[in-house]
Amino acid sequence: MIKNLIFDLGGVVITLDPNEAFTRFEQLGITDARQQMGVYGQTGIFLQVENGSIDADEFCRQLAAQAKEKSSLFANEGSPCYSFEQAQWAWLGYVKEVPLARLNNLLELKKKYNVCLLSNTNPFIMDWAESSRFSGDGHSIAHYFHTLYCSYRLKDYKPSASIYQKVLQQSGFKAEETIFIDDGPRNIESAESVGIHGLLVPEDADWMDSLLLMIEKME
């Protein structure tokens, strides 16, 4: 019997626009932003801030150093100094839309199941998500989930199997009573490797019908 539902954020709850994020970081002087960033995984400082290896302040410092090194914008100047707000502006380029219908589906599911978030994310995205700016009706992301599990807080990163084990341990969930919903095949495979049921959904697609059908078949 399914008791717990764990959702990814980007591409599942919110729709994404990676090209806008790439463009914004390029405007900050990160000329190889497209190579360092990706829909399903980051590299370099972008990975480090999402797996908790560095904090937001260090990310801003290293972002500025990279901009000085990579961009001709600062050839005749000292290194730029980027604020939390400037870095956040670039990260939020990823966010295309927060569909209200999906949020309402989460609220309906919360009435019957433990509904949690597990996302590869960072302090810049979560500062926005955990504020009233997240949804069109003024609620933070915490309104729609019982618990939020974030990669940088767990100091881990999908698709590592250990991040799912940490969630099971901290939540007390039984793997066989849990479904993980994600748009990344490797993330689903990793969750299933620790006994969690996986539901792979197309990026930015509605998932409610598929999820309810899966639950019905398992009951």
Catalytic residues: 8
Check the CA dihedral 40-193-123-53 and report its sign: negative
CA distance 129 to 14: 11
List CB contacts of 161: < 8 A, sequence separation 6 or more. Answer: 190, 193, 194
CA distance to 6, 35, 47, 63, 85, per residue, from 88 (Å): 26, 19, 15, 12, 5
Beta pairing class for 178-182 and 15-16 = unpaired
